[in-house]
């Protein structure tokens, strides 16, 4: 049996929990519609709703987590959502939390197809984050590393990004 004091304390904590104001992460209507699009059976209807929403809301708006919908798609590996947002005019070079772009997120997560798609659609490989890191410096995927290195090289052996051992080894291997 519990003491009256313990029971009283539990009851008080339960009451506080029920009446405590919940803080919610603010999502933009764009985020929600992209999620709906990805999970929808009627994508045409959802696409039209999303297209209409972009007339009233900033497609590149950052949410409370410091990401926009395009960056979230890159982080989640959602290529279809990413394609959709780019077709509606999303800025693939928009910086979010820490100065990261969608390319930083895709490179860091190892999503080669998303990295390729972003690059084909204007992603700038030379945008550094707030810590002066380029997408080429944060990837651990060898295929993405090679792709980004080729795009980042200004002239043979010269990089716009800083150097690190892995990139130096790759450049040396490629020049031999």
Annotated domain spans of the chain = 3-156
Q: Which residue has the higher pLDDT, 163 or 148?
A: 148
Mean pLDDT of the residues in the chain: 78
Query: Which pLDDT value is given to residue 174?
Result: 52
What fold characterizes domain 3-156? 1.25.40
State pTM to two decimals. 0.68
2-30 per-position pLDDT tens digit: 567 656 666 666 666 555 543 344 456 56
- CA angle, corner 145, sides to 139 and 147, nearest 5? 130
pLDDT at 125 over 60: yes
Query: Which pLDDT value is given to residue 169?
Result: 52
50-102 per-position pLDDT tens digit: 777 777 788 898 888 899 999 999 999 999 989 989 999 999 999 998 999 99
Query: Which pLDDT value is given to residue 175?
Result: 45
């Amino acid at each position: 049996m519990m003491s009256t004091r313990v029971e009283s304390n539990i009851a008080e904590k339960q009451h506080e929990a029920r009446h405590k104001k919940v803080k919610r992460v603010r999502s933009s209507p764009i985020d929600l519609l992209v999620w709906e699009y990805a999970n929808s059976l009627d994508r045409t209807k959802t696409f039209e709703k999303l297209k209409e929403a972009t007339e009233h809301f900033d497609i590149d708006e950052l949410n409370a987590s410091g990401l926009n919908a395009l960056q979230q798609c890159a982080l989640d590996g959602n290529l279809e959502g990413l394609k959709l947002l780019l077709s509606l005019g999303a800025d693939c070079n928009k910086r979010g939390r820490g100065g990261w772009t969608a390319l930083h997120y895709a490179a860091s997560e190892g999503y080669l197809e998303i990295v390729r798609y972003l690059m084909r659609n204007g992603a700038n490989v030379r945008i550094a984050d707030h810590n002066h890191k380029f997408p080429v410096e944060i990837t651990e995927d060898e295929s993405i590393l090679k792709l980004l290195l080729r795009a980042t090289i200004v002239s043979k052996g010269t990089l716009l990004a800083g150097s690190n051992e892995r990139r130096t080894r790759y450049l040396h291997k490629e020049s031999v």
